[in-house]
Structure 1
Amino acid sequence: MMKSSWKALIWIATAELFALSLWFGASVTAPELNDLWDAGANLEAWLSASVPIGFVLGAFASSYFGLADRFNPRFIFAVSALLGAAFNGLILISDGALNGITLRILTGVTLAGVYPTAVKLLSQWFPKRRGLAIGVLIAALTLGSSLPHFIVLFFSALQWQWIILTSSFLSVVSSGIIYFILKDAPVEKENKPFSFSLIKKVRENRAVMLANYGYFGHMWELYAMWTWLPVFLSASFQHNTGSASPALIAFCSFLTIGIAGAAGSVAGGWLADRIGRASLTILSMGISALCALSIGFTFGQSFWVTISLAFIWGIFIISDSAQFSAAVTEFAESEYVGTALTFQMCIGFLITIVSINLIPYLQQILGWKWVFSVLAIGPLLGLVSMAKFKTWEKRLGSPEQISKQA
């Protein structure tokens, strides 16, 4: 069983990596799309923010109708990845920014059938001690999200359309992996649907809400950093050397977001199983906040100083990501764990829409030296919340006791 579980993890993670290339697939071609559509300066922000809008809509709809419980989750993943590839590819024939943003929202809707479903598949294969397994899955998500930057390295000399096509092709491959190669887990199906009537119970569970507050702070920082760090690196290198090669920026972005994030996710999952989820999240958010506060001071400075700090930030900004949802599954009663996870995920991604769009406005006011310090607010508040979570957990002694007394 254990051998089969790790084999399944490899296929799930690979499929997740390929499908998540859709997330920033259009964002890396923002300059070309801006010229094509004659759009405004805020197009890049909305190309990134429109995906979480669709993701939230898709997550609510999927959970409300219980799609992953009514149908085989492998089928849901495969269909979602195919539809995502189609919506992403249609950008190539879109005739304006409004149509393009709409297609990005629809792509986000389909990704709500990919990422949460992958978590469900993983939980079926790893019913216990899944910290490292979830870390591997988050590593795949991180690499997949940054994969368009890697694709740019190969197609920077060709037309930008190849980047979009490659992301769509990878998502089609992802669909095939899950539907034709991955097998069903040998477990009984559990039905834990979303319900608006159960949100009150989620809000009354002190431990769950503390984990949620930590996650909300984490999400305030994460996707805004992933969206705007490449722009920061380009501006910094341009200021320091007078030029910034697109291929160099693409490589540095993939290195600091994808490679660093994947390493941090796996290490974070491994460490969480040993020192505890709360301790891991406190450590990660503390270091991540320090990076957000300090990276602006490297603007226009030595290339290696900037890249080194960005790499460290890339590790710790994602190393705790899986632990917030894991904490919810531990401390929420089975009656409403599905609702609790949906609530956490949807609010978290709604928060990213605000921070992604806030950064370009504040950059004009504060400059690159100070603008990322705004992102540090999230992990600092999240750190406080998880410190309270740790105290709460220690005082009551077990997930069962916490759930009963919360």
Structure 2
Amino acid sequence: MIEFLRRYPLPVIVLAQLFGTSLWFSINGVWLSLAGELGLPESQLGSLTLAVQGGFIAGTLLIAVTGLADRFGASRIFAVAGLLGALVNAGFVLAASQPTFGFILRFATGLCLAGIYPLGMKMVIAWTPKYAGAALAWLVGMLTLGTALPHLMRGATLGLPWEWPLLGSSVLAFIGAALVLLLGDGPHLPKSTGPVPLRHGLAALRVPRFRAVAGGYFGHQWELYALWTLIPLLAGRELSRLGLGSGWVPWLAFAVIGIGALGCIGGGWLSRSKGSEWVARWALRISGALCLLYPWLSGLPPQWLIGLLFVWGLSVIADSPQFSALAAETAPRASIGSSLAAMNAVGYGLTLPAIWLTTSLWSSWGVWVALLLAPGPVLGLWSLGRTSKRH
């Protein structure tokens, strides 16, 4: 069994990533049923999403400060995080009616995700270093599908208790943890046995090219998770205009978010001939243009708007694996895990104000909140432009 898994390490890692990251938006996927049953406002969805993001940031900072990602096997950290994440996600079933405990459990879920996503990136680099951009594209594609998966599970279980898809995410995370534990660590990265101080994780920021790439990633992050949080609301608006019921929302939300996996994989394929930076630039240009244009086009027929949502979902995540590949190329070799964790921590920190702003203003601004996402791609492109001037 173990030998079979090690013969196909990339499929194993990306499948485990898909299963593990289904925890990320597990509450968002069941929100309509959960809110209807417990009478929760839309602002509560924003709070719970922020809790996960906050936990992820705290977890990535913990990894960067302690150097855990470079001191211990990535597969073991991933497995422990997946198991604990499955347990705390399942615990939300008991705490859903108690906002404080629910917030704490979602924060804990974010902490666990910090041991899944960055460590998954390190495992991909350790097992398949030759085509990091293409390999990471598959990994982030699975993160995207994992994010969308709760919406699919909710759509497939309409009429059933909302607890079922939530617990299903926990089962998937447990399976993902087991797969990674059996696979083990790859052979292509040096192992560190001593402490890795935070300054080592941040050392890459002294490299001009890494700093410029990180700036592009930060702009991308400002847009990404806020848009993913808004997708059910944007989808619901267009479905309502078509006269369709709310039961179609999870299906459309899954499709719009999930198509981003194709954007990642297609971008990874293009990166082998065009380069990671070329893919990242074009993805930022397309998604940034939609941030600016979507509100002005909101009076078009709903079918057109749904089509634009698919283009947005495809482009908004396509640059993410390319930023990770570019960062891995320039980070100090002995502290890749800590460098990526530090970059993730800052990037996910920027998702907090973006999510808070857009969800808070949705009820009064509607689709015009998309304009608040535009600074991310604009600043990201400006930062990437600095890499050209240095080459």
3-state SS of 2:210 partner: helix
CA contact (8 A) 2:67 2:201 kept: no
CA distance in 1, matches of 2:296, 2:6: 45
Displacement of 1:290: 1.1
Deviates more, 1:293-302 or 1:23-32: 293-302
CA distance in 2, matches of 1:325, 1:307: 29
TM-score by length of 2: 0.92
The aligned residue for residue 26 of structure 1 is: 27
CA distance in 2, matches of 1:236, 1:108: 31
CA contact (8 A) 1:237 1:300 kept: no
The aligned residue for residue 321 of structure 2 is: 322
Deviation digits for residues 224-277 of structure 1, max 9, x if unmatched?
Answer: 111101111102321x2344332x21111111111x101000111121222122
Displacement of 1:45: 0.5
Cα–Cα, structure 1 residues 136 and 230, in superposed 2: closer, same or farther, change >3 Å? same
Does the alignment pair 1:255 with 2:255? Answer: yes
The aligned residue for residue 398 of structure 1 is: none
Can you give the 5+ residue segments of structure 1 that lack an aligned partner in the other structure? 395-406
CA distance in 2, matches of 1:371, 1:175: 37
Cα–Cα, structure 1 residues 190 and 138, in superposed 2: closer, same or farther, change >3 Å? same
Cα–Cα, structure 1 residues 157 and 111, in superposed 2: closer, same or farther, change >3 Å? same
- Equivalent in 354, 374, 377 of residue 379 of structure 1: 377
The aligned residue for residue 8 of structure 1 is: 9
Displacement of 1:143: 0.3
Displacement of 1:128: 2.1
CA contact (8 A) 2:157 2:165 kept: yes
CA distance in 2, matches of 1:304, 1:318: 22
Cα–Cα, structure 1 residues 342 and 125, in superposed 2: closer, same or farther, change >3 Å? same
Alignment map for 1:173-212 (pairs within 5 Å)? 173-180=175-182, 182-187=183-188, 189-191=190-192, 194-198=196-200, 201-212=203-214
Which residue identity is paired with 1:84? G
3-state SS of 2:332 partner: coil
CA distance in 1, matches of 2:128, 2:242: 49
Which residue identity is paired with 1:148? P
Can you give the 5+ residue segments of structure 2 that lack an aligned partner in the other structure? none
Does the alignment pair 1:344 with 2:334? Answer: no
The aligned residue for residue 73 of structure 2 is: 72
Matched residue pairs, number? 386
Deviation digits for residues 315-360 of structure 1, max 9, x if unmatched?
Answer: 1111110122222222233365444322211010011111011002
Displacement of 1:115: 0.9
CA contact (8 A) 1:207 1:331 kept: yes
What's the % identity of the aligned pairs?
Answer: 33
CA distance in 2, matches of 1:36, 1:106: 24
The aligned residue for residue 358 of structure 1 is: 357
Deviation digits for residues 355-384 of structure 1, max 9, x if unmatched?
Answer: 01100233344332x221221210011011
CA distance in 1, matches of 2:199, 2:294: 44
CA distance in 2, matches of 1:266, 1:290: 22
CA distance in 2, matches of 1:4, 1:154: 30
Displacement of 1:220: 0.3
Displacement of 1:35: 5.4
The aligned residue for residue 127 of structure 1 is: 129
CA contact (8 A) 1:293 1:373 kept: yes
3-state SS of 2:26 partner: coil
CA contact (8 A) 1:152 1:163 kept: yes
Displacement of 1:118: 1.0
CA contact (8 A) 1:22 1:107 kept: yes
3-state SS of 1:42 partner: helix
The aligned residue for residue 388 of structure 1 is: 386
Cα–Cα, structure 1 residues 318 and 199, in superposed 2: closer, same or farther, change >3 Å? same
Displacement of 1:304: 2.3
Deviates more, 1:118-127 or 1:196-205: 196-205
CA distance in 1, matches of 2:189, 2:326: 22
The aligned residue for residue 228 of structure 1 is: 230
The aligned residue for residue 276 of structure 1 is: 275
CA contact (8 A) 1:296 1:372 kept: yes
Please report the RMSD computed on the Cα atoms of aligned residues, expressed in angstroms: 2.2
- Equivalent in 100, 103, 106 of residue 101 of structure 1: 103
Cα–Cα, structure 1 residues 228 and 126, in superposed 2: closer, same or farther, change >3 Å? same
CA distance in 2, matches of 1:223, 1:230: 13
- Equivalent in 136, 151, 155 of residue 153 of structure 2: 151
Cα–Cα, structure 1 residues 304 and 280, in superposed 2: closer, same or farther, change >3 Å? same
CA contact (8 A) 1:194 1:342 kept: no
Deviation digits for residues 140-168 of structure 1, max 9, x if unmatched?
Answer: 11000110011012111111111211111
Deviates more, 1:26-35 or 1:184-193: 184-193
CA distance in 2, matches of 1:169, 1:261: 24
